[in-house]
Amino acid sequence: MKNLLYLFLIGILFSCGGSEDNETPIDNPPLDDKEHYWGFNVQDTVGLQFLGMGSCIYLDDTCTSICGVKNGKLWVGVFDSDSKNEKFTWTSSNEYDLTQTKDIGYGETATIDIKNMHISYMHAQDNKNFKILFFSYETLGINIWNLLFVHNGKETFYRDAKYYEAMTWNEECLLAINGDVSPAIYTIFDADGNKISDLSPFFFNSWKDYIFLSNKELICFRDNINGNGTYTIARVDAKENVTIWKQNIFGNTAPIFDDKISKNSKVTYTIEKIVEKEMTINMNILNYDGSQIKRKFKINTSTGEFETLGYNVIEISLDQDYIELGVGESSKLTAIILPTNATNKEIKWSSSNPFIVSIQENTFECEITGNKDGEAIITATTTDGNKVATCKVIVKKILVSEILFDNYLITASKGDACKFNATINPANATDKTIRWSYTNISSSINNPISIDEDGNIEIIAENGTVLVTAQSEDGNAKCEGYIEIKRPQELISIDACIYQASISSNNSSITINSCIYNPTFTQTEILNVALVENEVVKEWNFNIGTIGKNQKKTTVYTPLVFYGLSYNEIKTLVSNLIVRYQIRINGEIFYFEKHVDADRASHL
């Protein structure tokens, strides 16, 4: 009853009397066009009596519909709700009777003078194909329901006392629910407006049942969720109440879908299209926990056989929602899509800050790399349904944990170059820079060594101990080593050259032959030999010189012969045979001489 009163009130608000325009005083200014008939132009509705308004589904768009009586005939117009532009208008072939008799029950009738109208439902394709339900009335509570079919230009008109609670239309038939009686009566009309059947409401589970005609046979598809969570859809002959086939769609015994649904799940489905014996259905199941199951399939309306067209993505998640990386480190994210057999599993990956975290995507996996310290959000979005999953990535610097030397003690001398070879751990530390320094432990000078930024060392002092330190730039690690500075080790070698002396046959000269033993000398290093008396050297050309330390004769006189002397004089002069030793100490040459008796030397 409340619904009925509500519709009557709407009818009053959205209607006006046909004779009120003639009663407007002449001296009053005309109303603004937008105040006429809820903003519609006067020319659109001029001449209309008993104007009524309602909504209209026009080519799948929601528009505004207006009806009334114009020149004695029923007039219907459809307009854009925003722009008020006309879509189409229609005028009936016959006149509309403004005085009608209504059966008010209990054997009584009432004569009604129509003064108001209101549109309850309208579905239109064009002015030759539409369905409209409206009621006309004189006073509140007494109304005449009008159901008009216009199909391919043919008009079918029903006027009765029924109160229609709702109407559902598909491409083949219309369902009108009569709420004037209890229980309500479901009346089916075909597209031409022919009444097919009145059905008892016990047959229907809800108004969402889908009904259509197949070769004039009344067909209904209805759903059901039973106690074990199984969802079924069935085709029945609604007129004869005979089940043609029944199919489990979801549940333990479902032939195609193995998803389980709870008893309190909300199941909705829409018929996308019906082509001959094939119907395309989109189905959505919303479970109590918020999860969803979406399916799209075709069904053979004759046999009930299913063909899956696609499994929609319901959810996407990542195997990790938080990752910490060091600069230069990489990790991997893996996406998980439900259902696992979703038709379109394409994923788009993105980073909120590629300068901090860059990505390399590969379908379900994404490699992420930390480029610098900071944070970024990695997002995975499905192409199907734009489902989203995210992971927060924190990038931190990798500190040096330790510095190692190849050795920790270096022994060196003045002028030497050396270095502590350092190894940094971990190898992927963000900053591998080392700061080198030293501490003088015991050297006699302030700066015993020099060290550059690469750790190359030069020894400056002659002795002492130095502590060398390698410190990581991030301050997290250091290593120390020692340098012992010592004087250079003296390298000594001794070469000897022995010369043999002999007396000539005439006893007038003595000859000193060439070197008979020279194990190490090279040609340029052969030393001169002389006879010495009181450190005075007498040579062939009688030049006199003194041989001392660091002196070297480069000219060899072989043999060395003395003339004009008696044997005894010569023997006296040649009292010693010189054996010279050459001593080398770190490259510097020193000479050492040893005198040998001439008689002994002759036997060497």
**pLDDT tens column, 462-504:** 889 999 999 999 888 999 999 999 876 554 444 444 444 444 4
**How confident is residue 105, by pLDDT bands cut at 50, 70 and 90?**
confident
Higher-scoring residue by pLDDT: 412, 561: 412
Residue-level pLDDT at 39:
61
Which of these CATH numbers, 3.40.228.10, 3.90.45.10, 2.60.40.1080, 1.10.645.10, describes 402-485? 2.60.40.1080
Beta pairing partners, 362: 365
DSSP string, 216-258: TEEEEEEEEE-TTS-EEEEEEETTTTEEEEEEEEESTT-SS--
Average pLDDT over residues 236-251: 71
Rounded percentage of the chain residues whose pLDDT exceeds 90? 27
Q: What is the average per-residue pLDDT within 27-38?
A: 41
* Res. 260 pLDDT band, cuts 50 70 90: low
Residues in the chain, overall count? 604
The pLDDT, as a whole number, for residue 262 is 63
Contact between 98 and 69 (Cβ < 8 Å):
yes
- Chain-centroid distance of CA 340 in Å reads 20
- CATH number of this structure's domain 492-601: 2.60.40
Query: Could you tell me if 88 and 80 are in contact, meaning their C-beta atoms sit under 8 angstroms apart?
Result: no
**For a pLDDT cut of 70, what percent of the chain falls above it?**
61
Quick one: pLDDT at residue 509? 43
- Please state the rounded mean pLDDT for residues 571-581: 46
Helix (H) or strand (E) run with residue 424 in it: strand 422-425
> pLDDT class for 30, splitting at 50, 70, 90?
very low
Q: How many angstroms separate the CA atoms of 78 and 81, rounded?
A: 9
CB 53 within 8 A of CB 75: no
Residue 347, CA atoms < 13 Å, CB-side half-sphere: 29
Sign of CA dihedral 12, 13, 16, 21: positive
Q: What is the mean pLDDT of residues 211-226?
A: 57
Amino acid 275: pLDDT:
66
Residue 327: C-alpha distances to residues 96, 245, 247, 396 (Å): 84, 64, 58, 6
What integer is the mean pLDDT of 43-49?
72
pLDDT, average across residues 572-599? 49
Omega of the bond leading into 25 within 30 degrees of 0 (cis): no
Structural contact between residues 477 and 422, judged by C-beta atoms closer than 8 angstroms: no
Token couple for 399: 């500190």
Mean pLDDT of the chain: 71
pLDDT, position 325? 93
* Least-confidence region, from 80-84, 311-315, 371-375, 585-589: 585-589
Upstream peptide bond of 255 is cis (omega within 30 degrees of 0): no
Fold of 315-396: Immunoglobulin-like (2.60.40)
Measured on CA atoms in the order 181, 183, 184, 189, is the torsion positive or negative? negative
* 332-370 pLDDT tens trace: 999 999 888 788 889 999 999 999 999 999 889 999 999
Domain boundaries, the chain: 2-161, 315-396, 402-485, 492-601
Highest mean pLDDT, choosing among 7-21, 449-463, 567-581: 449-463
User: What pLDDT, on a 0 to 100 scale, did the predictor assign at position 347?
Assistant: 94
Domains 315-396 and 402-485 fall in the same CATH topology: yes
Side chain identity at residue 335, one-letter code: A
CA atoms within 13 A on the CB side of 34: 3
Q: Mean of the pLDDT values across residues 419-433?
A: 92
User: What's the whole-number mean pLDDT along residues 122-126?
Assistant: 90
**pLDDT at residue 591 in the model:** 53
